[in-house]
């Protein structure tokens, strides 16, 4: 790719903002409910900004009961295999709901899928505001992230001064498992720390500002704004490379240690070989035995105890992002004709 090349991308006509994929992550639930109450104003905005915004409470039964899920984790139900598998009278509620959401927002991987899915989440880990994506070269998601960074750095905006990171899960589209993978573009907006079942004003405010700036960016993009790369062409991307479980008793499988005090709450602080990792309940320090320094995140996440995950580790690298603009109508028609010709062949 040439350094000064401007990449032309299709218009983002339909955007979905989803909350309550996990029914006890309260910021997204209350934000979607608030936006639904203000729907009339949102519709007025849409007349000025050429984008249709769908507001979705993803897991209404779990939201009603303030539980992460009813039968199984909804945010693991969007692989192609799960979406196309057999159904029966005993099919878990969340798998049924994933089919409904796939019909509403997808189908996944099809030309009819919504253009962008923003799925709202909270974490108990000290992670600030993160965008989590399956791609490290989705220029839409990366430019939205840069826009959030620029908005935070400008004192005249309402974006809170919160740490921002871009996390990349290196998983194929076929194996991608979360709701945001249903859209042509998508990411989870993960904000913490916040206990599950609780809403904290500062965390809610950060999420609300993040969603508003994201929607503003989409409107700017659709209006024909050319997005150059601000002061830098690079974004720091944290690619997840491994996960650690807690030490466990070989017979009972109970955990035998907690995250070490020197590591707790130090998400995205570089973990070096021989740094403290866990402290056993008898007081022994267990150290990180990896061969390279890596960045820990989702440290001691409450919801991951059942998944056997104490923390994840990422490798950081710099990704160069190109300038982008929306395709013109002529370019869109040309691409559609090319796509049709390829299908006929």
> Per the annotation, does 272 bind a ligand?
no
Domain match, 225 and 297 both: no
Domain match, 225 and 288 both: no
The average confidence (pLDDT) of the chain is 92
Q: Give the pLDDT confidence of 258-272 residue by residue, as tens digits.
A: 999 999 999 999 999
Q: Distance between the two ends of the chain, CA-based, in angstroms?
A: 28
Does 176 reside within a domain?
yes
Domain match, 150 and 174 both: yes
pLDDT of residue 84: 94
190: annotated active-site residue: yes
Does 174 reside within a domain?
yes
Q: How far apart are CA 267 and CA 275, in angstroms?
A: 14
Q: How far apart are CA 110 and CA 113, in angstroms?
A: 6
Does 337 reside within a domain?
no
Number of domain units in the chain: 2
Domain match, 174 and 194 both: yes
pLDDT of residue 1: 45
> Per the annotation, does 100 bind a ligand?
no
CB distance 139 to 7 below 8 Å: yes
Tokens of 133: 């994506």
Quote the domain boundaries for residue 268: 241-314
Does 338 reside within a domain?
no
Catalytic residue among 44, 190, 301, 331: 190
Domain match, 18 and 78 both: yes
Q: Give the pLDDT confidence of 44-87 residue by residue, as tens digits.
A: 554 555 689 999 999 999 999 999 999 999 999 999 999 999 99
Does 87 reside within a domain?
yes
Torsion angle in degrees (nearest 10) through CA of 164, 170, 171, 173? 70
306: domain CATH number is: 2.20.25.160
pLDDT of residue 336: 61
Q: Give the pLDDT confidence of 89-139 residue by residue, as tens digits.
A: 999 999 999 999 999 999 999 999 999 999 999 999 999 999 999 999 999
Domain match, 142 and 28 both: yes
- What is the DSSP code string of 242-261? EEEPPPB-TTT--B-EEE-T
152: domain CATH number is: 3.40.630.10
Domain match, 300 and 179 both: no
Q: What is the DSSP letter of 25?
A: -
Candidates 164, 163, 316; CA nearest to 238 is 316
Domain match, 213 and 143 both: yes
> Per the annotation, does 345 bind a ligand?
no
Q: How far apart are CA 38 and CA 68, in angstroms?
A: 26
């Amino acid at each position: 790719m040439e350094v000064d090349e401007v990449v032309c991308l299709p218009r983002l006509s339909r955007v979905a903002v989803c909350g309550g994929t996990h029914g006890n992550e309260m910021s997204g639930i209350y934000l979607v409910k608030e936006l639904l109450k203000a729907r009339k104003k949102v519709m007025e905005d849409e007349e000025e900004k050429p984008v249709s915004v769908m507001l979705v409470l993803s897991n209404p039964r779990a939201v009603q009961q303030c539980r992460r899920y009813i039968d199984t984790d909804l945010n693991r139900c969007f692989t192609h295999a799960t979406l196309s598998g057999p159904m029966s009278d005993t099919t878990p509620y969340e798998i049924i709901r994933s089919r409904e959401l796939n019909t509403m927002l997808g189908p996944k991987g099809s030309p009819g899928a919504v253009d962008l899915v923003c799925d709202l989440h909270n974490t108990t880990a000290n992670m600030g505001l993160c965008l989590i994506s399956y791609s490290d070269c989705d220029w839409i998601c990366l430019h939205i992230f840069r826009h959030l960074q620029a908005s935070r750095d400008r004192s005249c905006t309402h974006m809170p001064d919160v740490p921002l990171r871009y996390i990349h899960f290196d998983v194929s589209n076929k194996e991608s498992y979360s709701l945001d993978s249903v859209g042509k573009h998508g990411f989870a907006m993960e904000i913490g720390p916040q206990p599950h079942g609780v809403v904290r004003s500062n965390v809610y405010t950060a999420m609300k500002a993040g969603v508003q700036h994201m929607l503003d960016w989409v409107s700017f993009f659709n209006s024909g704004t050319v997005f150059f790369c601000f002061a830098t062409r690079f974004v720091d991307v944290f690619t997840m490379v491994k996960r650690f479980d807690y030490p466990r008793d070989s017979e009972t499988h109970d955990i035998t240690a907690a995250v070490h005090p020197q590591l707790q709450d130090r998400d995205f602080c570089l973990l070096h070989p021989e740094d403290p990792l866990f402290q056993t309940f008898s007081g022994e320090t267990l150290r990180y035995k990896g061969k390279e320094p890596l960045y820990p995140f989702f440290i001691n996440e409450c919801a991951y105890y059942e998944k056997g995950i104490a923390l994840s580790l990422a490798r950081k690298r710099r990704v160069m992002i190109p300038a982008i603009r929306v395709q013109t109508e002529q370019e869109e028609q040309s691409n559609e004709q090319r796509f049709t010709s390829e299908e006929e062949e």
